[in-house]
Amino acid sequence: MWEFLFRHKIWLFLALLAPWFFIGGPGYYNPRSIKEVWNLGHVVFFAALALAVDSRFHLCRKPALPRIGLFFLFIVGLACGIEFLQTFQPGRIASLQDVLLGLAGAVLFLLWQVSGRMAGGGKIFLRGCSVVISVVCLLPLIMASYDEFRAWRDFPVLADFESPLELSRWGDNSRLLRVRAPVKSGRFALQVSLAVEHYSGLSLHYFSGDWHLARALTWSVYNPDDTLVLHYRVHDWKHRGKDQQFANRFNGQVELAPGWNTITIPMEDIENGPKQRRTDLNHITGLGFFVVSLPSPRVLYFDKVELLPE
Helices and strands (H and E) in the chain: how many = 8, 11
> Where, residue-wise, is CATH 2.60.120.260 in the chain?
159-309
pLDDT at 6: 45
Cis ω for the linkage preceding 224 (within 30 of 0)? no
Cβ neighbours for 78, distance < 8 A, ≥ 6 positions apart? 49, 102
Q: Quick one: fold of 159-309?
A: Jelly Rolls (2.60.120)
Alpha carbons 6 and 60: distance in angstroms, whole number: 23
- Whole-angstrom distance, CA of residue 122 vs CA of residue 120: 6
H helix or E strand, kind and range, residue 224? none
Q: What is the pLDDT of residue 244?
A: 79
Q: What are phi and psi of 237, to 5 degrees?
A: -65, -20
Sign of CA pseudo-dihedral 61, 67, 73, 74: negative
Q: Residue 59: what pLDDT?
A: 67
H-only helix segments in the chain:
2-7, 9-17, 32-39, 41-57, 65-86, 96-115, 121-154, 267-271
Tally of CB atoms within 10 A around 236: 25
- Which pLDDT value is given to residue 64? 64
Q: What is the pTM of this model?
A: 0.84
Per-residue confidence in pLDDT tens, the chain, 310 aa: 434 444 568 888 888 888 888 887 788 778 899 999 999 999 999 999 888 887 777 766 655 667 777 888 888 888 899 888 888 777 677 788 899 999 999 989 888 887 777 777 878 888 888 999 999 999 999 999 999 999 999 999 999 999 999 999 998 778 999 999 999 999 999 999 999 999 999 999 999 999 999 999 999 999 999 999 999 999 999 988 777 788 899 999 999 999 999 999 999 999 999 998 999 999 999 999 999 999 999 999 999 999 999 8
Instruction: Compute the half-sphere exposure of residue 288: CA atoms within 13 Å on the CB side of its CA.
Output: 21
Residue of 302, 293, 173 whose CA lies nearest to 229: 293
Chain-centroid distance of CA 269 in Å reads 30
pLDDT computed for residue 204 by the predictor: 94
Question: Looking at residue 255, what is its pLDDT?
Answer: 96
Task: Please tell me the predicted confidence (pLDDT) of residue 231.
Answer: 97
- Specify whether the CB–CB gap between 307 and 219 falls below 8 A: no
* Separation of alpha carbons 108 and 126, rounded Å: 10
In angstroms and rounded to an integer, the radius of gyration of the C-alpha atoms of the chain is 25
**The dihedral sign for the CA sequence 26, 30, 34, 35:** positive
Calpha distance 87→91 (Å, rounded): 8
For 161: left if phi > 0, alpha if psi spans -120 to 50, otherwise beta; the answer is left
